[in-house]
């Protein structure tokens, strides 16, 4: 087993464990401050005009009608088309959209290479004109790999220089923001390079096949090794960066923007709020005293007097 294979196994383990850890950590965070911003997509029959089941007379006596299809539709627009940025920051969207589209296609590319490796191990030819499922996998691999790398590379370059050129972005950017883009650009560029040397991506299938069967991959083209090394390093690095916002997006939308469950007596929400009100305050301000609880701060007259003086 080669060092590159061991590095890839390590990267996969770190990626899965790191992302799982972040998901669990976020899910266990204290109850959020709800935005209660309407329209809320899961409001069945009311989303079109921004309504809520709270508008019903005696709403607490009636079950809320929720449609997950509305949420899936709204989330899909944001995930795949970066809808918010399109409406509020069109110049940056020009680069962000192809960058994310390239990432999604690249994920599909990895899946296709994996399927191709499995088919190859099973004796199915993954090649043009094979007349089998291998032929479909072959062409989908080429399309997703090349288009994903081109779009992703274009977006990475555009986002890199946008951060440098625009003062508001430059002021909020740190070194790792630029490093992330350069690392991903290197992955995209070397993927195109692999195709130039190996137009069928057979060397990548051979490498993945070796990983799946825990066997030797044989001699690989140098650029394939470089590409796989960069991909493994990216997976190792990813859990430690803000690029895991794809994990937080679920919680941001479902548990902050769209969470509108009523706070009723005896509910889990009531228990979570009660727990949060018991947290100690470890900072101070004119309207907040350090050392007390949030319940004490909420019921104290100190903040009222502070606001009155202001």
For residue 43, list its beta bridge partners: 66
Q: How far is CA 158 from CA 40, 89, 165, 287, in A?
A: 33, 14, 10, 44
Give CA–CA dist 255/36, Å, rounded. 10
pLDDT in tens, 162-173: 999 999 899 989
Residue 10: what pLDDT? 97
User: Is residue 222 over pLDDT 80?
Assistant: yes
Q: At what angle do helices 245-252 and 3-27 cross, to 10 degrees?
A: 20
**3-class DSSP state for residue 293?**
strand
Residue 53 or 148, more confident: 148
Task: Average the pLDDT over 206-215 and give the result.
Answer: 93
Give the Cβ contact number of residue 285 at 10 Å.
10
Q: Would you call 229 exposed, middle or buried from its count of C-beta atoms within 10 A (0-12, 13-18, 19+)?
A: middle
Residue 175: what pLDDT? 95
User: Is residue 195 over pLDDT 70?
Assistant: yes
Residue 122: what pLDDT? 92
pLDDT in tens, 273-284: 999 999 999 998
- Determine what percent of the chain is predicted with pLDDT higher than 70: 96
pLDDT band at residue 303 under the 50/70/90 scheme: low
Which range among 13-27, 117-131, 282-296 shows the weakest confidence by mean pLDDT? 282-296
pLDDT in tens, 82-110: 999 999 999 999 999 999 999 999 999 99
**3-class DSSP state for residue 285?**
strand
Give CA–CA dist 154/131, Å, rounded. 34
Contacts of residue 101, Cβ cutoff 8 Å, sequence gap at least 6: 80, 148, 151, 152, 155
Which range among 53-62, 145-154, 176-185 shows the weakest confidence by mean pLDDT? 53-62
pLDDT in tens, 228-280: 999 999 999 999 998 998 888 888 888 888 888 888 889 888 999 999 999 99
What residue segments make up the domains of the chain, in order of their start? 3-30+82-240, 278-309
Per-state percent for the chain, helix, strand, coil, to nearest 5: 70, 0, 25
**Are the C-beta atoms of 198 and 224 separated by less than 8 Å?**
yes
Give CA–CA dist 161/172, Å, rounded. 14
- The values of phi and psi at residue 77, to 5°, are -60, -40
User: Is residue 304 over pLDDT 60?
Assistant: no
Please say whether the dihedral angle defined by the alpha carbons of residues 268, 252, 177 and 236, taken in this order, is positive or negative. Answer: positive
Residue 53 or 35, more confident: 53
Based on C-alpha coordinates, what's the Rg of the chain?
25
Picking from 290, 297, 294, the residue whose alpha carbon sits closest to that of residue 279 is 294
Contacts of residue 188, Cβ cutoff 8 Å, sequence gap at least 6: 102, 106, 148, 149, 150, 152, 153, 156
User: Is residue 301 over pLDDT 80?
Assistant: no
How many Cα atoms sit within 13 Å of 111 on the Cβ side? 10
Which range among 31-40, 56-65, 234-243, 265-274 shows the weakest confidence by mean pLDDT? 31-40
Residue 60: what pLDDT? 82
Tokens of 179: 């490093």
User: Is residue 287 over pLDDT 70?
Assistant: yes
pLDDT in tens, 149-158: 999 999 999 9
Picking from 1, 208, 6, the residue whose alpha carbon sits closest to that of residue 118 is 208
Q: The CATH number of 3-30+82-240 is which of 2.60.40.1120, 3.30.1340.30, 3.40.50.970, 1.20.950.20? A: 1.20.950.20
Picking from 64, 32, 33, the residue whose alpha carbon sits closest to that of residue 51 is 64
Task: Average the pLDDT over 136-148 and give the result.
Answer: 97
pTM of the predicted protein model: 0.88
Whether the upstream peptide bond of residue 125 has omega within 30° of 0, thus cis, is no
């Amino acid at each position: 087993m080669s060092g590159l294979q061991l590095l890839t196994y390590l990267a996969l383990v770190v990626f899965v464990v790191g992302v799982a850890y972040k998901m669990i950590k976020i899910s266990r965070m204290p109850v959020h401050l709800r935005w209660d911003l309407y329209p809320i997509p899961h409001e069945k029959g009311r989303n079109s005009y921004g309504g809520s089941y709270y508008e019903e007379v005696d709403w607490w006596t009636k079950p809320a009608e929720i449609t997950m299809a509305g949420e899936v539709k709204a989330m899909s627009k944001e995930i795949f088309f970066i809808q918010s940025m399109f409406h509020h920051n069109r110049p940056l969207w020009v680069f962000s959209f192809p960058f994310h589209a390239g990432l999604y296609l690249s994920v599909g590319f990895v899946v296709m290479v994996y399927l191709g490796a499995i088919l190859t191990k099973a004796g199915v030819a993954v090649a043009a004109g094979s007349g089998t499922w291998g032929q479909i996998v072959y062409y989908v691999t080429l399309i997703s790999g090349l288009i994903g790398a081109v779009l992703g590379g274009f977006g990475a370059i555009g986002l890199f220089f946008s951060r440098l050129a625009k003062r508001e972005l430059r002021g909020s950017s740190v070194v790792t923001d630029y490093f992330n883009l350069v690392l991903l650009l290197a992955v995209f560029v070397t993927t195109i390079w692999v195709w130039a040397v190996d137009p069928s991506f057979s060397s990548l299938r051979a490498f993945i096949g070796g990983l799946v069967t825990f066997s030797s991959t044989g001699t690989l083209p140098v650029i394939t090794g470089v590409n796989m090394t960069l991909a493994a390093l990216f997976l190792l690095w990813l859990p430690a960066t803000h690029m895991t916002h794809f994990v937080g997006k679920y919680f941001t939308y479902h548990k902050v923007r769209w969470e509108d469950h009523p706070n009723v007596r005896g509910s889990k929400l009531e228990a979570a709020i009660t727990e949060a009100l018991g947290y100690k305050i470890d900072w101070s301000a004119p309207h907040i005293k350090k050392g007390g609880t949030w319940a004490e701060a909420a019921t104290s007259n100190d903040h009222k007097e502070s606001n009155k003086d202001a």
